[in-house]
Amino acid sequence: MMEAIQMAEINAANAGTFAFDDKFKVNRLGYGTMQLTGPGTWGPYRDPESGIKVIKQALDYGVNFFDTADSYGPWFADRYLAAGLKGAANRDQIFISDKVGQTRQGPNIWTPHGEANYLRQQVEVSMMTLGIDHEDLVFLHRIDSHFSIAEQVGELKKLQDEGKIKHIGLSQVTVAEIKEAQKVAKIDAIENLYNVADHRDDDVLDYAETQNMAFLPWFPLATGKLAQPGSELSTMADKYQVSPAQIALAWLLKRSKNVLPIPGTSSVDHLADNVAAANVELSDTDFKTLSDLSK
């Protein structure tokens, strides 16, 4: 539903900014590349040129924060992201978060591997694939139980000390695991499954907020039954004259100033809808109503 939101108003900057350091602020509403792959996040996307077009359009909408991973494809999403960002006038103002530590053996198969040499290799190959000389942010995609947190985060810290990584993050972790990693390196971001429907690691988000860490909710548009006609989310979307997806993103943006949603899409129309969520301002009452839905 774009009737209530003029196209000229679609700008990711309307969601506000988050500062990773004193030199760089990102617009809080970003873009995730996971959908730019084949079925099961495996193999090439069916229409690479369309995927590249979506990335270029995201830039036009003010998106300057892109989230990717070597395991998306693997490598294919990174290639499309590199192509989409190539020649961008504001390339030095674009922030890329990357992830390493997952191996792929086929569609929907993900196997963590946290050996130091492997993590280092993936960072090096990712930089070549993306065409960059350093990583803005690298997440340990999953903690591998075969290696200590100190070993895995420690290798990322070594790469950081070498100037190859600026910021270090963790994905799908508990507060206890974050605290363990903080003994080894400064952790600047967390990426956990989190959405308005039913996945709420509120303790992790709250801890990240106290530490001034960015919190990236992956699968942010998993609204499920909440988006069905007659549901609370659908009714609220009608009230604001926007889509259920925009309400879900607006809820995330209001949840905390350190939340950076990264909705992914392969559709330019859906991209416009997602970014336009930056214009939706939920009332405190409506925010609480949505917050109580998963209790």
Domains contained in the chain, CATH given: 7-291 (3.20.20.100)
Contact 95, 45 (CB under 8 A): no
Q: Residue 135: its pLDDT value, please?
A: 97
Instruction: Report the b/e string of 133-171 with b at 16+ CB within 10 A.
Output: eebbbbbbbbbbeebebeebbbbbbebbeeebbbbbbbb
Q: Which residues are catalytic?
A: 72
Using only the alpha carbons of the chain, give its radius of gyration: 18
Q: Where are the beta strands (DSSP E) in the chain?
A: 17-19, 25-27, 31-32, 65-67, 95-100, 102-106, 109-112, 135-140, 165-171, 187-193, 214-218
Burial 172-187 (b: 16+ CB within 10 A, else e): bbeeebbebbeebbeb
Q: Which amino acid is at 83?
A: A
Cα separation, 205 vs 199, in Å, equals 12
- pLDDT of the residue at 1: 45
Backbone angles phi, psi at 282, to 5 degrees: -75, 145
Taking a C-beta distance cutoff of 8 angstroms, is the pair 72, 33 a contact? yes
Q: Burial level of 203, CB count in 10 A (0-12/13-18/19+)?
A: exposed
Strands 135-140 and 214-218: unpaired
Instruction: Per residue of the chain (295 residues), give pLDDT as tens.
Output: 444 444 448 999 999 999 998 888 999 999 999 999 999 999 999 999 999 999 999 999 999 999 999 999 999 999 999 999 998 878 788 999 999 999 999 999 999 999 999 999 999 999 999 999 999 999 999 999 999 999 999 999 999 999 999 999 999 999 999 999 999 999 999 999 999 887 788 999 999 999 999 999 998 877 666 667 777 888 899 999 999 999 999 999 999 999 999 999 999 999 999 999 999 999 999 999 999 887 6
Please report the pLDDT score of residue 199 as a whole number.
74
pLDDT in the model for residue 224: 61
One-letter amino acid for residue 51 of the chain? G
Whole-model pTM: value is 0.94
pLDDT given at position 120: 98
pLDDT in the model for residue 89: 75
